[in-house]
């Protein structure tokens, strides 16, 4: 297993955490739009690990689950 945080080119010491994550994970991004037909899923919408690939994966899983839950609800009607 490679620990990329210890590699010189993938985690240089001069790189610091950005401060412009203020709106990442905002609750507004958690709500679907267009009558529930559009679910936002990107690292910027994630409430965890925003700005990183882990955030994108978390957001994708959240959105997929919301879509599946919506389909299940529609099928019960």
Q: Who has greater pLDDT, 40 or 16?
A: 40
Per-residue model confidence as pLDDT tens digits over 53-70: 999 999 999 999 999 998
Residue 51 and residue 44 in contact, taking contact as beta carbons nearer than 8 Å: yes
Whether the Cβ atoms of residue 4 and residue 10 lie closer than 8 Å to each other = yes
| Residue from 2, 71, 1 nearest 32 by CA | 71
Mean per-residue pLDDT, 2-6: 82
Question: What confidence tens digit (pLDDT) does each residue in 9-29 have?
Answer: 777 666 555 566 678 888 888
> Do 66 and 72 touch, CB atoms closer than 8 A?
no
Mean pLDDT of 24-48: 90
pTM above 0.75, yes or no: no
* pLDDT of amino acid 66: 92
CB-CB contact of 30 with 39 (8 Å):
no
């Amino acid at each position: 297993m490679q620990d990329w945080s210890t590699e010189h080119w993938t985690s240089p010491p001069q790189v610091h955490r950005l401060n412009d994550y203020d709106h990442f994970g905002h609750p507004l991004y958690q709500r679907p739009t267009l009558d529930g037909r559009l679910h936002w899923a990107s690292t910027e919408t994630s409430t965890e690990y925003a700005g990183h690939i882990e955030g994108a994966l978390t957001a994708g899983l959240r959105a997929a689950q919301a879509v599946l839950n919506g389909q299940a609800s529609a099928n019960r009607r």
